[in-house]
Amino acid sequence: MKISFEIKDKDIAGRIGKLEIENENNSMKKTIETPALMPVYGLNNPILSIDELKEKFNAKILMTNAYMLFKTEEKKSKVIEQGIHKFLNFDGIVAVDSGSYQLMKYGDIDISNAEILKFEEKIGAEIGSFLDIPTLPDAYKRLAEENLLVTLKRAKEAKELNLNLIINAAIQGSTFSDLRAKSAREISKNFELNAIGGIVRLMEEYRFEDLVNIIVAVKKNIKAGNVVHAFGLGHPMLFGLAVGLGCDIFDSAAYALFARDKRYITKS
């Protein structure tokens, strides 16, 4: 897979861009305009169908969970046989998550970094991710440093595997700007799609100053032309702020999580 990003217009640190992914195995190209939101499609209990996401919300890119596919034997065999696009009935760009959220939630998952990456490639996703270690805000710095070392080691492994997959490379470091800067520099060397991870708790707690500091630390230390994904940022009240700071892609399952609790999202 080959990724290219053309900045069409910009203001403050925000930009309107053309993101193109080309599958070099078959020369197929897929293009979206950024900023773009990736709806997260829940495999086990979807609130909206793929057809609704395409027809009502004009989704040209979405995200789903490769780990959940891998761990459900029936789905796993079917998606390997059909490929992710036919399995989902979606011909746009498909990004998959590695199971890092489950790792953060449960403390351990029974799959290796290389296994999930090879699975992501095997099912034909355009965008995949390595098994990074999310570190919650306000963690002890030593823990954040240790987790970051593991994340960077797994990033290196992802690069060395040389897969036909665009890596959505996670930048971690908790709320420590120096660790975020270090992570950003290292990740930016080898990956053109950089994902700011470990920020959902900050948004849930309305800690927008910390969120801004993290985004700024990352943006100052990556290559200017890299695409920036804000992991889990999906509330309309934050889109303008995040875009103005230079984020290009967002993902969120908030629409589904809120709906299950009989809540809905407004603009502010």
Catalytic residue set: 97
- Peptide bond just before 134 cis, omega within 30 deg: no
Burial category of 103 from C-beta neighbours within 10 Å (exposed 0-12, middle 13-18, buried 19 and up): middle
Can you tell me whether residue 41 is helix, strand or coil?
coil
Distance CA(142)–CA(148), nearest Å, equals 10
Distance CA(266)–CA(255), nearest Å, equals 11
| Token digits of residue 233 | 């940022």
- What does each C-alpha distance from 142 to 148, 156, 174, 202 come to in angstroms? 10, 21, 11, 20
> Per 3-state DSSP, what percentage of the chain is helix, strand, and coil (rounded to 5)?
40, 25, 35
Burial category of 82 from C-beta neighbours within 10 Å (exposed 0-12, middle 13-18, buried 19 and up): middle
DSSP-assigned letter for residue 24: T
- Residue type at 44? N
